[in-house]
Structure formats: C-alpha cells, structure tokens
C-alpha cells in the first residue's frame, strides 16, 4: 500500500495544474468552486485507491480464512 | 392555552426547518420542502440504523402539531442534549471523535441512498459521553454522480483545526472561535509545517485544496458540463481518504504546569480522600440536577457528582487536563461527565450572527450547583480579581448552591504563586472572603480540609 500511496502522491502533483472547469452542485451551503474542482480531480485517484483497498482487504480476508480453516482442520484431526 | 414560541438564534441557515422552544421544551419544525428527504430518511432505515448506533439524536414525531409557520410539514421533538458545547471548547480527541463520527454517518448515509448536505462541527454534540449528530435535516437523497457538497466544510471544520493542533500547537483549536465557518484552508496551509506536504491526505485535502480555492476564487463559471461526475466509488474513496487523514492525526502530549497537578499539591492522599468525602456530602445536601465544575483539572472531583448520575460539565483552562479527562470518559464509558476547555477569565463569548448564533458560557448557565475547588487563589492572585468580582460572577452561573474552597495565603500553592510577584493582596484572607461572598450567598456549612489550611464551604445563593 505504501507504493500505491507514493504513486497517488506523485500523480496528484502531476495533475495539479490541469484542473478542468466544470460546475458546482447546489445546496444551502457553498461548496466553493475550488473545492468542487478538487473533488473532480481527486475522484479518479481516490476511487481507484479505494477499489484497490477493498480488493486487498477481501484478498487478505480470504487468505486468513484459508489458513484459519487449515488450523481448524488440524485441531479437528488431533481431536 | 398557546405558549409563546422562542426561536433558536443559531438555527436559521437551512431552509428545510428550524429549532424552537415552546413551554421550555425543544422542537424542530420540518418544512414542506424537506418532506421527500425526511420520508426517505425514515423509510430507507437510515434513521433507525443511525439512532441504534448512537450516531444520530433520536426524536419523536409530534402528533397534531401544525408547526409555527405555514411552511411546516411536520414537527418533531428531539431528545434533549445535556449541555450544548462548541468545537472551540473541545480538546483534540473530542474534535477528532466528532470528525470520525461525521464520516461514519456519511458512509452509512451513502449505503442507504442518502448523503450529508453539510458537515458542520456544530452539528456534533456530546451526549451521554459520546459524540452524536444533532441535525436531523442534514440528509439529502443521493443522486448518482454528485459530488460531496460539504467537502469544503468538513475540511475547514475538522481536518484543518485537527492538523494544526496535531502538527503545530493544540492551542490553535481556539482559532475556531474566530472563524465560525471553520479555519480558512489558505491560512491552515501557511501555518502547517512544510513536512505535512509529504502526507498524501494533508497535501490533497489541505494544501492543494487551498491552492484550488485560490485559483478559482471569483472566477466566472462556464455553462454546466454534465459529463464531469463523481462515481459512488470515488465518493466512498474520498470519505475513506478523509477518514485515514483524521485517524493518522495524533497529539503527542507533553507535560504542562498543570498536567501533573494531582502529584504536585500539598495534599496527602488521606486529605485528598477526606476532601472528596466532604464534596460528596455537600453535593448530596445540594441534590443538584446539573453541576458545573470550574477549574476541574482532570475531573477527579467532577466524578464525585457524575458518579451519582448528576449531569456534570468539567471545565478547565488547560487542554492537556481536558484531553486526559476526556480519555478517561471514553475508557470508562462514563455517561454523565463532559470535559471542556474554558478560560474563566475570558469565558466563551456569544459568537456569529448578532452575537447570538453560538451562546456564551454564561448564557448556557446557570447550573444548579457550581463547584470551585482549589480555584480562588488562581483567580484572586494570579489574575488580580477582587473577591467582589469573583462572587458576583459565580452568583451569575449558580442557580442554587456553590461548593467553594478557600485557599489561604499560608498554603504552599499560594506561596508558589507569590514567589515571582509582589504580594499586593493584603485583603486576601478568610474573613474578607466570607464577608464578601455573604453579599451573594448564605454560608450553609463549612469544614476544614484536614492536613491543610484550607476550608470547604457549601453556600446557597441568596435572593439579592
């Protein structure tokens, strides 16, 4: 995850200066135009990072379940 | 008989409804424009989920109430919060918990097809020892592709002060009192040390955010382009990133003059326990519903009251003491004590629109009983406050009883205060203390604190 973070950091720096115009959403508080654009800018990076994180968690969960199953079966056989 | 309506001076920005009081009870009017969202909040199961988890304040719908304006759709009665407090009175961990609570609510809302339309730190109150969201009207239907409109507000109200408290100085939390809509991000970016740019989350949500705001400040917008949207995954990614930003901010505690106060008094353990027993006896006699413990340090004596189930606010000037006090509340899961940062010589003023949007400390009183233990010498000697001023102030925040400790000049703590300054306090003695306080209070009982020169008083406010 550390490499991912570093990659995200560098890519964010790279796209800083290519913020693209769009429109703000509406509501009773002002989202501020700059905050709106930053979210659009970050959307791709944070969305991808989040997907990877979820995938990573699932993978870790699956692996640990596999091993814990192995432990249980050992216990079962010893019992 | 119709009771007069008292509008809440801090509830006017959101056109979806407002808070009011009638006959001493708190209500919230929901306007017709919020009807669809309110129904979704209930029907989607979001309200149930959030209240079950203690994240959102619960409410009762008031039957046969047509509201106070013709815009009303419904009137609800929220569960009352013991004491309203503000982010500039929170210690670091309180603000951090408030931020994480807001993000947890946002995640849950997104999973139910709704989204938080604001992320104000003022929407979080401490209730039964835990942070709870109090604005039932903050939930809007989530539309596919929308951004988080409250992203700026979250960064200004939570991330910016937490980052500054963590990386610069915890006292910067007081800046929130000046900037009522959260700390400006350009100011935060300038105050934070350069090393924070190496943190991905602080780089993006503070430094780049500030630059982006500056870049687009005052710019005319082009025709809406509908192709630029934020997917739900990206939105969840944004919330996750903010969550890790907040989680990673920590306060490295250093010892202060007051931090180890209990190890530094002239009390023996026996005297300390005897003083606790005296306090307990006086509280039992006063039998209050609410207590303010002012100058509470880590809340050792506040707990004498709160352990009896009395709603107790434990104020101290020192953020370290308040932080330690709050950590105890969390670790012991205490429900009746609220630690807050307060400088008694400059208590929280009224803030915001007409100076009434956020109430002053005094306006949030009085408490049935006020405790002022080992405090008088700090006010009278360190702050040159005459007894008359102290008694007058205390009388304003006491409804019935005052439990106060007199610390004479011979006491080592007073001597310590006098080592670095000239003793100009020839009228600082027990006789003058009793005489002056008798102008505002009747002394019900007094008792010497064993092993010291100090005296503890139970006083009842008189009808001047």
**Tokens representing residue B298 in the block:** 């880590």
CB contact under 8 A, B147 and A39: yes
In this prediction, residue B150 carries a pLDDT of 96
> Nearest CA of chain B to the CA of A63: how many Å?
23
* pLDDT value of position B270: 84
Cβ contacts of A40 on chain B, cutoff 8 Å: 147, 228, 230
B175 Cα distance to chain centroid? 14
Q: Give start and end residues of each alpha helix (H) in B133-216.
A: 151-154, 160-167, 185-191, 200-202, 209-216
CATH topology assigned to domain B261-461 = Rossmann fold (3.40.50)
B27: CB partners within 8 A, 6+ apart: B19, B20, B21, B62, B65, B75, B76, B77, B78
Name the residue among B15, B213, B236 with its Cβ closest to that of A34.
B213
Q: Which residue has the higher pLDDT, B311 or A5?
A: B311
Give me the helix-helix angle, A33-78 and B209-216, nearest 10°. Answer: 160
Other beta carbons within 10 angstroms of residue B221's beta carbon come to 12
Percentage of chain B lying above the pLDDT 90 cut: 82
Q: In A, which residues are within 8 Å of B114 by CB distance?
A: none
Q: Are B84 and B125 in contact (CB under 8 A)?
A: yes
* B33 in contact with chain A, both atoms CB, cutoff 8 A: no
* Coarse DSSP helix, strand, coil percentages of chain B, rounded to the nearest 5 percent: 40, 20, 40
Using DSSP's 3-state secondary structure scheme, residue B190 falls into: helix
B337-341 and B367-372 as β-strands: parallel, antiparallel, unpaired?
A: unpaired
At CA B298, angle to CA B248 and CA B183, rounded to 5?
A: 40
**What is the distance in angstroms between the Cα of B210 and the nearest Cα belonging to chain A?**
8
pLDDT at B262: 55
Tokens at B252, concatenated: 């490295």
In DSSP notation, B286-315 reads H--SEEEEET-TTTTTHHHHHTTT-EEEEE
**Mean pLDDT along residues A36-46:** 90
pLDDT (tens digit per residue) in B190-203: 999 999 999 999 99
Given CB atoms, is B12 within the 8 Å cutoff of chain A? no
From the list A22, A28, A32, the residue facing B152 with the nearest CB is: A32
* Chain B nearest C-alpha distance from A76 (Å): 38
Best A19, A36, A53 member to test B by mutation, with max B CBs in 10 Å, is: A36
B209 vs A contacts (CB less than 8 Å): 34-35, 38
Are B153 and A5 within 8 A, CB to CB?
A: no
CB–CB contact B241 A23 (8 Å)? no
Is-contact B459 B285, C-beta < 8 A?
no
Task: State whether residue B237 sits within 8 Å of chain A by CB.
Answer: yes
List the single best residue of B120, B141, B148, B238 to mutate versus A (max A Cβ within 10 A). B238
Residues B334 and B129 sit within 8 Å (Cβ to Cβ): yes
Total Cβ atoms within 10 A of residue B369: 26
Given pLDDT bands bounded at 50, 70 and 90, which one contains residue A32? confident
Q: What is the pLDDT of residue B13?
A: 85
pLDDT digits over B81-93, tens only? 999 999 999 999 9
Binary contact (B13, A28; C-beta < 8 A): yes
Task: With 0.80 as the threshold, say if the pTM is over it.
Answer: yes
Number of inter-chain CB pairs under 8 A, A vs B: 126
Chain B, residues 99-128, CB within 8 A of chain A, namely 117-118
Provide mean pLDDT across the span B329-342.
98
Q: Any idea which of A68-77, B26-35, B350-359 has the lowest mean pLDDT?
A: A68-77
Report residue B425: phi and psi, to 5°.
-105, 60
pLDDT the model gives residue A3: 59
pLDDT tens profile B278-328: 999 999 999 999 999 999 999 999 999 999 999 999 999 999 999 999 999
Can you name the CATH fold of B87-217+226-248?
A: Transferase(Phosphotransferase); domain 1 (1.10.510)
pLDDT score of A6: 62
Angle at B168 (CA atoms; ends B262, B165), nearest 5 degrees: 65
- With bands split at pLDDT 50, 70 and 90, how would you rate the model's confidence at B266? low
B11 Cβ under 8 Å from any chain A Cβ = no
Among B109-113, B139-143, B261-265, B443-447, the least confident range: B261-265
Tell me the two tokens of residue B103: 């993000």
C-alpha radius of gyration, chain A, whole number: 21
User: Where are chain B's structural domains?
Assistant: 5-78, 87-217+226-248, 261-461
Q: Taking residues B202-216, what's their average pLDDT?
A: 95
- pLDDT value of position B29: 96
Chain A hits for B201, Cβ within 8 Å? none
* Pair of tokens at residue A52: 């990877």
pLDDT band at A8 (very low <50, low <70, confident <90, very high): low
């Amino acid at each position: 995850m550390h490499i991912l973070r570093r990659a995200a950091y560098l890519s964010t720096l790279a796209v800083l200066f290519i913020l693209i115009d769009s429109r703000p959403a509406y509501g009773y508080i002002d989202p501020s135009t700059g905050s709106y654009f930053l979210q659009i800018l970050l959307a791709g990076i944070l969305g991808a990072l989040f997907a990877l994180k979820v995938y990573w968690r699932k993978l870790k969960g699956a692996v640990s379940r596999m091993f814990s199953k192995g432990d249980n079966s050992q216990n079962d056989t010893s019992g | 008989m119709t009771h007069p309506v008292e509008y809440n001076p801090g509830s006017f920005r959101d056109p979806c409804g407002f808070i009011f009081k009638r006959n001493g009870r708190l209500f919230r009017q929901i306007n017709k424009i919020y009807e669809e969202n309110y129904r979704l909040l209930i029907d989607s199961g979001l309200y149930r989920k959030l209240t079950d988890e203690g994240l959102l304040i619960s409410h009762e719908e008031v039957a046969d109430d047509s509201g106070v304006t013709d815009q009303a759709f419904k009137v609800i009665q929220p569960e009352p919060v013991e004491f309203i407090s503000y982010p500039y009175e929170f210690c670091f961990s309180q603000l951090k918990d408030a931020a994480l609570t807001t993000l947890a609510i946002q995640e849950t809302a997104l999973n139910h097809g709704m989204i938080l339309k604001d992320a104000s730190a003022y929407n979080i109150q401490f209730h039964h020892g835990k942070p709870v969201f109090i604005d039932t009207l903050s939930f809007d239907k989530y539309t596919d592709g929308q951004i988080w409109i409250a992203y700026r507000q979250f960064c200004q109200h939570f991330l910016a002060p937490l980052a500054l408290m963590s990386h610069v100085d915890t006292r910067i939390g007081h800046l929130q009192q000046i900037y009522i809509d959260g700390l400006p991000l350009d100011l935060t970016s300038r105050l934070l040390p350069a090393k924070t740019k190496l943190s991905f989350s602080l780089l993006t949500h503070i430094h780049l955010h500030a630059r982006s705001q500056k870049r687009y400040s005052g710019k005319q917008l082009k025709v809406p382009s509908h192709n630029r949207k934020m997917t739900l995954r990206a939105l969840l990614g944004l919330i996750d990133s903010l969550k890790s930003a907040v989680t990673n901010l920590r306060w490295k505690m250093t010892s202060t003059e007051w931090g180890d106060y209990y190890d530094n008094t002239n009390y023996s353990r026996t005297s300390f326990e005897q003083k606790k027993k005296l306090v307990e006896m006086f509280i039992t006699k006063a039998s209050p519903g609410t207590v303010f413990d002012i100058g509470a340090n880590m809340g050792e004596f506040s707990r004498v009251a709160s352990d009896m189930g009395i709603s107790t606010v434990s104020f101290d000037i020192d953020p370290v003491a308040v932080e330690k006090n709050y950590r105890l509340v969390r670790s012991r899961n205490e429900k009746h004590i609220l630690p807050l940062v307060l400088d008694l010589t400059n208590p929280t003023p009224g803030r915001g629109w007409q100076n009434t949007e956020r109430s002053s400390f005094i306006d949030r009183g009085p408490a049935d009983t006020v405790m002022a233990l080992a405090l008088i010498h700090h006010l009278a000697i360190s702050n040159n406050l005459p007894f008359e001023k102290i008694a007058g102030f205390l009388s304003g925040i006491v409804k019935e009883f005052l439990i106060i400790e007199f610390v004479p000049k011979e006491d080592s703590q007073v001597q310590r205060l006098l080592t670095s300054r000239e003793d100009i306090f020839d009228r600082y003695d027990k006789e003058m203390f009793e005489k002056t306080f008798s102008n505002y209070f009747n002394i019900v009982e007094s008792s010497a604190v064993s092993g010291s020169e100090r005296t503890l008083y139970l006083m009842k406010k008189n009808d001047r």
